[in-house]
Amino acid sequence: MDPVFPAQFFLLLGIDIFLGGSIITVIFDEHFPNGLPYIMDFGAVVGFVQLVLGPQYLTGYPTDVQFYYCTAYATIAVLAVVGSNLFVVFVRRRARVGGVFAIAGSLPSALAVLYFASAYVNGVAVMLPTIPFLGWPVVWGAFLGATAILLVAMVIFARGGQAED
């Protein structure tokens, strides 16, 4: 049975994970070393080069070798994000902040790689925990509420933080 999507999808997934990790380390720079965003960006560039060269070099290999190669890259990207979380927990000694980063970054990254790997290999996605059905009014309410919070934050920022007085 042929997979639904090519193995190079895992290269794209790894690039996205590296770039997401880079953005997180730039935004919360007081928790991470200064060079970590550049290492994450370099990892994303390496994946992009592999993706560009992939049609010439990677398609000559069997599909299972392509899958293992591309999944290894995505796994390295997940391990880089997990390593940055472990740095925050054990070196900076901020377990609460590291837990938030793990829930917001490491766990979704690892689950995404597992989900798509299962979909690639089995043709069927791994069953994830069930989420209750949310109707369109709830979705629109959440979207409009988030937009309102963003607008209020932009107004406070534009005023120079005068709301703190």
Query: What would the pLDDT profile of 56-99 be if each residue is shown by its tens digit?
Result: 666 677 777 788 888 899 999 999 999 888 888 888 888 887 88
38-42, 117-121, 129-133, 147-151: segment of lowest average pLDDT? 129-133
- Pick the closest to residue 47 from 22, 82, 84, 24 (CA basis): 22
Q: pTM of the predicted model, to two decimals?
A: 0.69
Same domain for 107 and 142, yes or no, is no
Q: Are residues 137 and 59 in the same domain?
A: no
Domain of 40?
9-131
Task: Note whether 102 and 45 are same-domain residues.
Answer: yes
Residue the block writes with tokens 């005023």: 159
The per-residue pLDDT for 79 is: 92
How many angstroms separate the Cα of 153 from the Cα of each of 27, 29, 89, 133, 162? 17, 21, 29, 30, 12
* Most confident listed range (53-57, 125-129, 155-159): 155-159
Do 89 and 20 sit in the same domain of this protein?
Answer: yes
Residue for token pair 């369109």: 136
With a cut of 60, say whether residue 133 has pLDDT above it.
Answer: yes
Beta strands in the chain (DSSP E): none
Residues 140 and 114 both lie in one domain: no
Same domain flag for 48 and 63: yes
Tell me if 64 is assigned to some domain.
Answer: yes
The answer to whether 101 and 85 are in contact (CB under 8 A) is: yes
pLDDT for position 161: 53
| Element of type H or E holding 164 | none
pLDDT value of position 78 = 92
- Reported for 21-27, long-range contacts at CB under 8 A and 24+ positions apart, including other chains, are 21/77, 21/80, 21/81, 21/84, 21/105, 24/81, 24/84, 24/101, 24/104, 24/105, 25/84
Q: What is the dihedral of CA 117, 55, 21, 127, to 10 degrees?
A: -10
Q: Would you give the end-to-end CA distance of the chain in angstroms? A: 65
